[in-house]
Amino acid sequence: MINFKFIISCLLIIVMNDCVSKIVNQNNFQLKFVFILSRHMNRAPLIEYKNITNRINWPRGLGELTDQGIWNAYRAGQALRERYLGFLHPLQRYTPSEIDVSSTSVERCYQTAGYLLAGMYPPNDEQTWNQLLRWQPIPIKTSLSKDHQQFAVNPSLCPKYSVELHEATETFMNTEKYKNLVKYMKNYTSSTLDTCYDVLKVADFIWTEHMANYSIPNWAMERKDDIDKYILSSMEILVETEQMKRLFSGDMLNDILTRMEASMNKSSDAKKIYLHIGHDSTIVPFLKTLNIENVTYPLYGAAVVMELYATPSNETVVKLLYNKDYKWKESDIKLIELPGCPQPCRLEDWRTYTKKIIPFNLSEECKN
Ligand SMILES: *[C@@H]1O[C@H](CO)[C@@H](O)[C@H](O)[C@H]1NC(C)=O
Ligand SMILES: *[C@@H]1O[C@H](CO)[C@@H](O)[C@H](O)[C@H]1NC(C)=O
Ligand SMILES: *[C@@H]1O[C@H](CO)[C@@H](O)[C@H](O)[C@H]1NC(C)=O
Ligand SMILES: *[C@@H]1O[C@H](CO)[C@@H](O)[C@H](O)[C@H]1NC(C)=O
Ligand SMILES: *[C@@H]1O[C@H](CO)[C@@H](O)[C@H](O)[C@H]1NC(C)=O
Ligand SMILES: *[C@@H]1O[C@H](CO)[C@@H](O)[C@H](O)[C@H]1NC(C)=O
Ligand SMILES: *[C@@H]1O[C@H](CO)[C@@H](O)[C@H](O)[C@H]1NC(C)=O
């Protein structure tokens, strides 16, 4: 029995090494570390506005994952297992040293992480503890999260940031284009829509129903492009100034760089993968902070990926990728040039280049 298992294991390792060479060893580049920042999966709208015409029953409630979202999270986990086969443990054994998983404290993010990990880490024979349940618990930590999207809704968390956000929002809401759109939306929804966030929640309602293939009211269809642009722009202004970038996204960037360095140092707490489940309002500001142009609105399960490789001459280089949705299809994963650090971008160079957007002490710098 042991021998048989041993032979199977060897075969598995050989087969896996064969089919993974693409990701794990590109031009003899050796994969060392992966960071994944993913948006949660399909969810219900966050609100229902006043005189809604077609009320839809969202079984798990507003803001929660839908059935589709649950399955897509699970499928994303299976796709990640495939993509990083050969980088991950060859016997598909979960070990705490392999992966760190964090989530914002929002339920749909936490649950996305949970279903995703069910797809990525089904217990292997040795880790199966219940024959009827192909599942094992993998830790998900909200305490590791450097996702500061809460700064945007709770001013007391970072007073200096909220002063700047307030200014940026005023300017944004006062552009003719959006003043006009808000007036239009107020009329048809009979809602007050006083703040940028009030408008965003209605705009998101439209986007969400459309993505879920429900028909949306004619008035909304007529201005759908403007509504979509509003959603994206309202997330871009979260990092309107250099200081806002530093306060909002700098901490997460620093965390990634530090994890990459720990991996190169073979530090005892280094992991192979760090997966964070956040929001559209995490991803858009993060890409803007890196000065990426032409940021598009992240679909459910869209992900920013940073892969760290060792080159044959022992340099360490960083690749930035953008994955379109939960499918993780190779053709939907695009390499993005890092502004200020063209490929091959050495980790040290990138550390130097990003110095100005990394806070020394976030809580100190948040003080007004
Ligand atoms: C929404 O409510 C307003 C008045 O509150 C009404 O004039 C309008 O016809 C309603 N629209 C829809 C689509 O129900
Ligand atoms: C306001 O909404 C009503 C329908 O509720 C519509 O007949 C009217 O044209 C709208 N006004 C504007 C300025 O869009
Ligand atoms: C909506 O329709 C498209 C095209 O038929 C399909 O690919 C997609 O899965 C559907 N989405 C949902 C949430 O049902
Ligand atoms: C990695 O090693 C370098 C040089 O020894 C050191 O400066 C740095 O603090 C280490 N970083 C981590 C995250 O271990
Ligand atoms: C951004 O979009 C503009 C206009 O579509 C295009 O000219 C430019 O090359 C794009 N930039 C990048 C970095 O893709
Ligand atoms: C790269 O590092 C490995 C392990 O540290 C070492 O065996 C190898 O000789 C190094 N290669 C070069 C080109 O420095
Ligand atoms: C950051 O500043 C706060 C005071 O605002 C202080 O309590 C904390 O110890 C500082 N952290 C570090 C790592 O220096």
293 is a domain residue: yes
CATH (domain of 64):
3.40.50.1240
In tens, the pLDDT along 130-175 reads 999 999 999 999 999 999 999 999 999 999 999 999 999 999 999 9
- State if residue 187 touches ligand 1 by the CB under 6 angstroms criterion: no
Residue 71 in tokens: 């399955």
pLDDT for 20 equals 46
Q: Is the CB of 268 under 6 A from ligand 4?
A: no
First-residue to last-residue Cα distance in the chain: 67
Nearest CA to ligand 5 atom 1: 294
Q: Would you say residue 238 lies in a domain? A: no
pLDDT digits (tens, 9 = 90+) for 38-81: 999 999 999 998 878 888 999 999 999 999 999 999 999 999 99
Which tens digit of pLDDT belongs to each residue from 251-300? 999 999 999 999 999 999 999 999 999 999 999 999 999 999 999 999 99
Reported as a single tens digit per residue, the pLDDT across 344-355 is 999 999 999 999
Query: What's the 188 CA to ligand 1 centre distance in angstroms?
Result: 7
Q: Has residue 75 been placed in a domain?
A: yes
What global pTM score does this model have?
0.91
Atom number in ligand 5 closest to CA 337: 13
- Whether residue 233 lies inside any domain: the answer is no
**Residue 194 is assigned to a structural domain of this protein:** no
- Choose among 162, 330, 355, 363: nearest CA to 254: 355
Query: What pairs with residue 317 in β-bridges?
Result: 309, 346
Which ligand has the shortest distance to the CA of 266? Answer: 4
Model confidence at 22, pLDDT cuts 50, 70, 90, reads low
CB of 261 closer than 6 angstroms to any ligand 4 atom: yes
User: How many other C-beta atoms are found inside a 10 Å radius of the C-beta of residue 133?
Assistant: 10
Which ligand lies nearest the alpha carbon of 185?
2
Note whether 47 and 18 are within 8 A (CB): no
In a domain, 219, yes or no: no
Range of the domain at 145: 4-151+243-366
199 domain residue, yes or no? no
Would you say the CB of residue 265 lies under 6 angstroms from ligand 6?
A: no
Q: How many domains does the chain have?
A: 1
Q: Which residues pair with 338 in a beta bridge?
A: 341
3-state secondary structure the chain: CHHHHHHHHHHHHHHHHHHHHHHHEECCEEEEEEEEEEECCCECCCCCCCCCCCCCCCCCCCCCECHHHHHHHHHHHHHHHHHCCCCCCCCCCCCCCCEEEEECCCHHHHHHHHHHHHHHCCCCHHHCCCCCCCCCCCCCECCCCCCCHHHHCCHHHCHHHHHHHHHHHHHHHCCHHHHHHHHHHHHHHCCCCCCHHHHHHHHHHHHHHHHCCCCCCHHHHHCHHHHHHHHHHHHHHHHCCHHHHHHHCHHHHHHHHHHHHHHHCCCCCCCCEEEEEECHHHHHHHHHHCCCCCCCCCCCCCEEEEEEEECCCCCEEEEEEEECCCCCCHHHEEEECECCECCCEEHHHHHHHCHHHCCCCHHHHHCC
Q: Which of 213, 215, 300, 324 gets mutated to test ligand 3 (max ligand atoms within 8 A of its CB)? A: 213
Give the number of other CB atoms < 10 A from CB of residue 45: 20
Q: Is the CB of 176 under 6 A from ligand 5?
A: no
Task: Answer whether residue 179 is part of any domain.
Answer: no
Report the share of the chain in percent with pLDDT over 90. 89
- Residue of 138, 143, 92 lying closest to 113 (CA atoms): 138
CB of residue 313 inside a 6 A radius of ligand 6: yes
